[in-house]
């Protein structure tokens, strides 16, 4: 389906000139001039507004001219960064050198087996293993992803699920990066992968109690919307599979999961503002799924099960969510009992059920607290798990057995590598089971982290997480990289990132702007950064950037920004609104052609996201989107130095968005004196390269780009 071409500089330029793809270019032995995409105007008319898109033709992935153009941009980027190759190699060696290559995860026990994941020296991919729960048990390798990846330029494995009888393994594999997975099955006794495969699925499935039946989610082949739940019995022909649910509303997608008790299978239909759950007893695979509560606008909910109760997590009259319980035998809405009420200043983010305890994940003032309650209402147990740092990230990761009184949770901060901690819910004692090893001489005492609050132009206080090397002076002389996202209610928490050390050790300050559009400060934080309030996201980021300069965290001449996907939209909007603020910017897989994409319901994710961005078929939303869409708002100005990355097979943000954006910016500003680089991974999708070492190569390029601009190489 996809064309690939690798050619050298000289023949490529000649070919493009002959083909008419490049309207002008020059080439020397030392450095190429940038390719210029041919302008082939397409008129787009909506709501009485006429837009001209000169690069619409780049949407045709199967057109050899498009592939040639992307390769030309790659050749130009390589040429422009040629003098940085030694630095890139040094950085790659640093990034790779911090990884403990022969590593292993903390094991957990489930149904008589101890499960764990390990890596071997020099190998890119994980090896999934288990041992029988007895002293003399030998290791069983369930799946060695390195073997699956042999001869493949891309390999993504997801959704590993062991059958209830512990004999079979289901897993999804994608060899293109398009996130169209094939579901495969392996007999863990014989070691054979069964002659049974289901294609074009999300990659995960749920086993029924008979260990013969699975339920999986199929995607629409064009839009990639997950819309069918299918029942499949192992070793039966695919034409005997039965659709048990079809999501006909194009603004919804659906998926399948299971309860904490494993006694129920759930089908969840959802869009941004509405949810509907169906359930089925896991030991009745041929039964009919029942609707738990019919969908209605602006009601989001989820359910879980343990014992004789359903738990219901709901935003009904509760923007920050609340928690209910209901009897399995009578769960009518009138019989729900409120367990955790709504609070304006606390966002109930998640919860975990245990037989004797209830663990809540609550956000207060932008930080996650793990709150422990007794399982029964009225219990006197009510306390927070203690944490030692003022800025951190914590998330519960319960083991499969709900009868345990041990909570496992992950803990990290911008100076503390990821830890897996076991916490006794009864004695309140903690034990660190594992801290991720960071090699290469890392010493956390060399670094400092803190939380600041920037004031946005409307007076809102925006939290900012900052980390730096203690030798770096905070007097306005340090280069600073500002990172943000600000969409979908996703919170960008201050986690440890060993790769960032390569910038910190060279004098950079790194700052995460927790801007509106995320959920760091509760649900309203999200609501105030979406739809017709989306511009708050961009102005928050700009105001944080100015705060970093004013407070001495950043050199005014060397402030940089980075974001990916919807964060790439953030970068694009910000450099249109305040191009003078940033010396350089990195936009990874950026969603920049907002209006055109959201008007095209054949593009993956479009209809599903109307409640995030708005439906531009309505003039009010069209006009608002148009006001900030980076591609539509490209102007003649001196933009920051810009590195843009994408993947040819990206299913979330199509490659043509960044490709068109770069082409238009270059045409509008041919003599800007600033670098404008597009790097397309011709063998990957939205997440970039697979393999724990391969993915570091692009980080090395990003950091070399920043260090060159900052004069720190």
The Cα–Cα gap between 523 and 516 comes to 10
The Cα–Cα gap between 675 and 455 comes to 32
The Cα–Cα gap between 497 and 98 comes to 11
Mean pLDDT over the full length of the chain: 92
Residue 13 has pLDDT above 60, yes or no: no
User: Using 50, 70 and 90 to split pLDDT, how confident is the model at 690?
Assistant: confident
State how beta strands 49-53 and 367-374 pair.
unpaired
pLDDT of amino acid 694: 87
pLDDT in tens, 152-188: 988 999 999 999 999 999 999 998 887 889 999 999 9
* Long-range contacts of the stretch 78-84 (C-beta < 8 A, 24+): 79/9, 79/31, 79/32, 80/31, 80/32, 80/675, 80/677, 81/677, 81/701, 81/704, 81/705, 82/31, 84/701, 84/704, 84/705, 84/708, 84/713
Query: What would the DSSP string read from start to end of 660-696?
Result: HHHHHHHHH-TT-SS-EEEEEETT-BTTB--STTTTH
Residue 564 has pLDDT above 90, yes or no: yes
99, 439 Cβ separation under 8 angstroms:
yes
The Cα–Cα gap between 357 and 428 comes to 13
Residue 24 has pLDDT above 80, yes or no: no
Residue among 70, 91, 72 at smallest CA distance from 32: 72
User: Residue 515: which H helix or E strand, with range?
Assistant: none
Buried b (16+ CB within 10 A) or exposed e, 152-188: ebbbbbebbbbbbebebbbbbbbbbbbbbbebbbbeb
pLDDT in tens, 242-266: 999 999 998 899 999 999 999 999 9
pLDDT of amino acid 340: 98
What is the layout of strands, in order, in the sheet containing 559-564?
A: 447-455, 461-469, 509-513, 480-483, 559-564, 584-588, 641-647, 676-681
641, 557 Cβ separation under 8 angstroms:
no
User: Using 50, 70 and 90 to split pLDDT, how confident is the model at 609?
Assistant: confident
**Phi, psi at 483, each rounded to 5°:** -120, 145
For 210-225, what is the mean pLDDT? 92
Residue among 86, 100, 101 at smallest CA distance from 700: 86
For 506-521, what is the mean pLDDT? 97
Give the torsion sign (CA, 375, 376, 381, 384): positive
The Cα–Cα gap between 10 and 33 comes to 12
Residue 691 has pLDDT above 80, yes or no: no
Q: Tokens 């422990």 appear where?
A: 372
Residue among 159, 194, 197, 162 at smallest CA distance from 179: 159
User: Residue 493: which H helix or E strand, with range?
Assistant: none
The Cα–Cα gap between 541 and 513 comes to 6
For 55-62, what is the mean pLDDT? 94
Collapsed DSSP state (helix, strand, coil) of residue 19: helix
Collapsed DSSP state (helix, strand, coil) of residue 410: strand
Where residue 465 falls (left for φ over 0; alpha for ψ -120 to 50; beta otherwise) is: beta
Residue among 146, 139, 190 at smallest CA distance from 168: 190
pLDDT of amino acid 652: 83
pLDDT of amino acid 321: 97
pLDDT in tens, 282-301: 999 999 999 999 999 999 99
pLDDT in tens, 461-497: 999 999 999 999 999 999 999 999 999 999 999 999 9
pLDDT of amino acid 514: 98
- Cα angle 618, 620, 626 (rounded to 5 degrees) comes to 100
Residue with more model confidence, 5 or 652: 652
pLDDT of amino acid 31: 65
243, 270 Cβ separation under 8 angstroms:
no
3-state secondary structure 548-565: HHHCCCCCCCCEEEEEEC
Q: How much of the chain exceeds pLDDT 70, in percent?
A: 95
State how beta strands 367-374 and 382-384 pair.
antiparallel
Residue numbers annotated as active site: 565, 650, 686
Residue among 290, 328, 291 at smallest CA distance from 307: 328
The Cα–Cα gap between 375 and 306 comes to 11
Tell me the H-state helices in 367-521: 501-504
pLDDT in tens, 659-676: 999 999 999 998 888 999
User: Using 50, 70 and 90 to split pLDDT, how confident is the model at 8?
Assistant: very low
Give the CA-trace dihedral at 170, 176, 177, 182, to 10 degrees: -20
Give the torsion sign (CA, 333, 336, 340, 343): positive
pLDDT of amino acid 7: 26
The Cα–Cα gap between 469 and 486 comes to 26
Residue 29 has pLDDT above 50, yes or no: no
pLDDT in tens, 434-454: 999 999 999 999 999 999 999
pLDDT in tens, 62-84: 999 999 999 999 999 999 999 99
624, 538 Cβ separation under 8 angstroms:
no
- pTM assigned to the model: 0.91
Residue 644 has pLDDT above 70, yes or no: yes
Check residue 32 and report its DSSP letter. B
The Cα–Cα gap between 505 and 41 comes to 47
pLDDT of amino acid 178: 79
464, 543 Cβ separation under 8 angstroms:
no
Collapsed DSSP state (helix, strand, coil) of residue 176: coil
617, 599 Cβ separation under 8 angstroms:
yes
* Long-range contacts of the stretch 5-11 (C-beta < 8 A, 24+): 5/64, 5/67, 5/68, 5/71, 6/71, 7/71, 9/75, 9/79
**Phi, psi at 659, each rounded to 5°:** -65, -45
Tokens at 524, concatenated:
């309203």
């Amino acid at each position: 389906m996809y064309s690939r071409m690798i050619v050298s500089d000289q023949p490529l330029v000649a070919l493009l000139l002959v083909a008419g793809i490049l309207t002008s270019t020059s080439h020397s032995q030392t450095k190429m001039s940038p390719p210029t995409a041919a302008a082939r105007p397409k008129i787009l008319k909506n709501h009485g507004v006429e837009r001209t898109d000169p690069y619409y033709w780049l949407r045709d992935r199967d057109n050899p001219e498009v592939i040639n153009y992307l390769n030309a941009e790659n050749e130009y980027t390589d040429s422009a960064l040629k003098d940085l190759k030694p630095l890139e190699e040094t950085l790659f060696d640093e990034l790779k050198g911090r990884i403990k290559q022969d590593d292993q995860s903390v094991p957990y026990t489930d149904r008589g087996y101890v499960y764990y994941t390990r890596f071997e020296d020099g190998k890119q991919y994980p090896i999934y293993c288990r041992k029988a729960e007895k002293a003399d048990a030998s290791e069983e390798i369930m799946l060695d992803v390195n073997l699956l990846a042999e001869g493949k330029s891309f390999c993504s494995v997801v959704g590993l699920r062991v059958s209830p009888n512990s004999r079979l393994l289901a897993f999804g594999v994608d060899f293109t990066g398009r996130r169209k997975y094939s579901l495969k099955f392996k007999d863990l006794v014989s070691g054979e992968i069964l002659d049974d495969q289901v294609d074009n699925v999300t990659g995960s499935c749920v086993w029924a109690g008979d260990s013969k039946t699975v339920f999986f989610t199929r995607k629409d082949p064009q839009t990639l919307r997950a819309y069918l739940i299918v029942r499949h019995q192992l070793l039966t022909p695919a034409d005997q599979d039965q659709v048990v649910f079809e999501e006909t509303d194009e603004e919804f997608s659906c998926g399948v999961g299971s309860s904490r008790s494993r006694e129920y299978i759930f089908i969840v239909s959802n869009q941004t503002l509405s949810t509907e759950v169906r359930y089925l007893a896991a030991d009745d695979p041929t039964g009919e799924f029942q609707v738990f509560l019919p969908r209605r606008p602006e009601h989001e909910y989820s359910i879980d099960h343990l014992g004789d109760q359903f738990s219901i997590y709901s935003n009904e009259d509760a923007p920050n969510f609340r928690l209910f319980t209901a009897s399995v035998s009578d769960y009518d809405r009138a019989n729900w009992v409120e367990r955790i009420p709504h609070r304006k200043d606390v966002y109930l983010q998640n919860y975990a059920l245990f037989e004797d305890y209830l663990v809540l994940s609550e956000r207060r003032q932008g930080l996650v607290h793990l709150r422990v309650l007794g399982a029964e209402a009225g219990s006197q147990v009510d306390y927070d798990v203690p944490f030692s740092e003022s800025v951190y990230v914590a998330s519960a990761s319960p083991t499969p057995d709900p009868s345990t009184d041990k909570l496992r949770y992950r803990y990290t901060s911008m100076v503390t590598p990821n830890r897996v901690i076991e916490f006794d819910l009864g004695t309140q004692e903690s034990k660190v089971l594992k801290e991720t090893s960071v090699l290469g001489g890392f010493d956390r005492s060399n670094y400092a982290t803190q939380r600041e609050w920037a004031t946005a132009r409307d007076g809102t206080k925006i939290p900012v997480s900052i980390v730096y090397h203690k030798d770096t002076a905070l007097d306005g002389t340090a280069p600073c990289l500002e990172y943000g996202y600000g969409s979908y209610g996703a919170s960008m928490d201050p986690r440890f990132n060993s790769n960032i050390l390569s910038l910190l050790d060279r004098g950079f300050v790194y700052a995460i702007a927790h801007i509106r559009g995320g959920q760091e400060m509760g649900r309203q934080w999200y609501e105030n950064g979406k739809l017709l309030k989306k511009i708050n996201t961009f102005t928050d980021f700009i105001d944080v950037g100015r705060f970093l300069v004013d407070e001495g965290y950043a050199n005014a001449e060397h402030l940089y920004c980075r974001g990916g996907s919807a964060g790439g939209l953030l970068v694009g909007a910000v450099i249109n609104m305040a191009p003078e603020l940033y010396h350089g910017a990195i936009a990874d897989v950026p969603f920049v052609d907002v209006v055109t994409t959201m008007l095209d319901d054949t593009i993956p994710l479009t209809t599903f996201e109307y409640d995030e961005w708005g439906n531009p078929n309505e003039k009010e939303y069209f006009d608002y989107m148009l006001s900030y869409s980076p591609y539509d708002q490209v102007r003649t100005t001196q933009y920051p130095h810009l590195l843009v990355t994408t993947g040819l097979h990206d299913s979330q943000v199509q490659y043509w968005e960044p490709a068109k954006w770069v082409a238009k910016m270059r045409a509008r500003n041919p003599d800007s004196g600033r670098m404008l680089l597009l790097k397309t991974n011709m063998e990957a999708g939205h997440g970039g390269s697979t393999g724990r070492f391969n993915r570091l190569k692009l980080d090395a390029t990003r950091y070399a780009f920043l260090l060159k601009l900052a004069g720190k190489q």
